[in-house]
Amino acid sequence: MKKYAFFSNMVNSRFDPAAVLDLSTGGKALIISDLHMGSGRRDDLAYNGPLLTAMLEQYYLSGGWYVVLNGDIEELQKYSLGSIRKQWPYLYRIFNAFAAENRLFKTLGNHDAELIFEKDYPYPLYEVIRIETGLIPLYVYHGHQSSRFYTRYENLIRAGLRYILKPIGIRNISSARSPYRRFSVERQAYAFSMENNCISVIGHTHRALFESLGRFDYIKFEIERLCRDYPASAPEERERIAAEVHALRGELGKLKHSERRDVLRQSLYGDEMPVPCLFNSGHAIGKKGITAIEVDREGISLVYWFPEGGGRKFIKRGRYTLEKLGETPYRRAVLNQDRLDYIKARIELLGNH
């Protein structure tokens, strides 16, 4: 049996053929994960709830998008489904509006796996969803399937969250808090994509990835690119590049303090060139905004939604075009984007044969 056979089984034997989203003839899809909807003042989604409802209703629903809710949407390890539905009636109405037009897809995560026992749950549930683009298939799954820690201790974790951490006010604890578990999940999803020459879009780790790169690795590659551009640039452009490199180095230093250095030296792809086969939509529970993945038949993007005056500092350096959401105080920025034909070529040339 192959090392990553459990992923192959998930896609082949447990894969429901009905869970196919075909974008090959047109259409656009939003992939978002880890909302952790709860109830009460300790709800993880409370901070970004207004932003989430506004962007879903006024941008994606009205714009004709499909939406893929990629696991850990309801926080069932801490709250009951009834209390969550009572807390978020308007958000469920938006979900219903997508579902009424067959534009809602939903996968199971480790925090909402109990939904399969809910007889009256209104939406179909899947382990994995395949998105057909006409160029390369995308497999969308939460990512916890590769974590032996969660699959082995799921019941114990659920009990601890609901009966110990929740009463004393401790927020959601996930693999995002552990660099070792996070990198393990990502490596196995990366290896699965390499073996199957496909793209995986996961959640679970709460770390946004684009073309297999997290923010730390992306900054290193971006600094290298800017240094290559510097010698041939005009004097005024050199000043801009120097300021950008300085700012990126500062951000790199901050990231070093937030991770353990031995983990940072590790890589999803070892000493090889990164194969752009793994993407992660990030999460919706941070105080700096919401990240998500957008895809159509030609390209894929990592987008960032945030309130005006908020957001992360690197957004404000002028490198990103900001799009205003109507009369709301919310903004959308495209952090990374690329064409699927280019990504497919790199997977074919750099991946396993």
Asked if residue 203 and residue 169 are part of one domain, the reply reads: yes
The model's pLDDT over 274-305, given as tens digits with 9 standing for 90+, comes to: 788 899 999 999 888 999 999 999 999 999 99
CA nearest neighbour of 309 among 285, 326, 288? 288
Asked if residue 253 and residue 109 are part of one domain, the reply reads: no
Q: What pLDDT, on a 0 to 100 scale, did the predictor assign at position 218?
A: 67
Supply the range of the domain harboring residue 52. 5-212+268-350
In a domain, 67, yes or no: yes
Q: Which residues contact 232 (CB under 8 A, 6 or more apart)?
A: none
The model's pLDDT over 93-135, given as tens digits with 9 standing for 90+, comes to: 999 999 999 999 999 998 888 888 888 899 999 989 999 999 9
Asked if residue 135 and residue 252 are part of one domain, the reply reads: no
- For the entire predicted model, the pTM comes to 0.80
Q: Name residue 301's beta-bridge partners.
A: 294, 337
Lowest mean pLDDT among 24-28, 135-139, 161-165: 161-165
Q: What is the mean pLDDT of residues 53-67?
A: 97
Asked if residue 251 and residue 196 are part of one domain, the reply reads: no
pLDDT at 34 over 50: yes
Q: What pLDDT, on a 0 to 100 scale, did the predictor assign at position 113?
A: 84
Give CA angle at 278 (150, 256), nearest 5°.
75
More confident residue, 164 or 322: 322
Asked if residue 222 and residue 207 are part of one domain, the reply reads: no
Asked if residue 238 and residue 310 are part of one domain, the reply reads: no
Query: What's the half-sphere exposure (Cβ side, CA atoms, 13 Å) at 162?
Result: 14
Domain-terminating residue out of 195, 229, 258: 258
Asked if residue 133 and residue 41 are part of one domain, the reply reads: yes
Mean pLDDT of the chain: 81
More confident residue, 32 or 276: 32
What's CA 256's distance to the chain center, in Å? Answer: 22
Q: What is the CATH number of the domain that holds 275?
A: 3.60.21.10
In a domain, 263, yes or no: no
d(CA 37, CA 165): 16
Asked if residue 283 and residue 252 are part of one domain, the reply reads: no
Asked if residue 232 and residue 318 are part of one domain, the reply reads: no
Domain-terminating residue out of 258, 287, 312: 258
Please give the tally of structural domains in the chain.
Answer: 2
DSSP state of 2: -
Q: What pLDDT, on a 0 to 100 scale, did the predictor assign at position 54?
A: 97
d(CA 143, CA 147): 8
Asked if residue 311 and residue 172 are part of one domain, the reply reads: yes
Domain-terminating residue out of 203, 236, 258: 258
The residue type at 290: I
More confident residue, 88 or 313: 88
- Count Cβ neighbours within 10 Å for each residue of 121-138 and write b for 16 or more, e otherwise: eebebbbbbbbebebbeb
Q: What pLDDT, on a 0 to 100 scale, did the predictor assign at position 208?
A: 86
